[in-house]
Structure 1
C-alpha cells in the first residue's frame, strides 16, 4: 500500500513541480540573459530529484514496529 500512495504522491508532485517551473521559466526567466536561463533550467531540471528521493526512500521502508528494542 505504501508504494501505491508514494507513487501517486510522486506523480502529483512532479506534475505540479513541472507546471510551476514552466510558468516561472516562461514568465520570468526567458527575458534574462542566456547564462541565467541555462542555470535556471539546469537547476530546475534536477531540483525535483531531491524530494523524489525522499518519497522513494519512504516507499521502500518497511512497516514501523511500535515495540522498543
Structure 2
C-alpha cells in the first residue's frame, strides 16, 4: 500500500474569533495556503488586526521579485 497525502475536508480558510464576550479570547486563522495561526488572550487582538482574509502573506505576490 502506498502512502497517500492527508486530505482534510470541511475546514474552510478564514478567521474565527471566540471568547471575546466571556472568558479568554481565542483567534484561529487558516490561510488559503494552509498555514494555521492561533492567538490567545491579549495577542488575539493583534492577530485580528494583522490578518487580511483572502490575502496570503506567506507566498510572494505574482510579479514581485523575491530576495
Which structure's CA Rg is the greater one? 1
TM-score norm. by structure 2 comes to: 0.25
Q: Which has the higher helix share?
A: 1
Q: Which has the higher strand share?
A: 2
Higher relative contact order (CA 8 A, sep 6+): 1
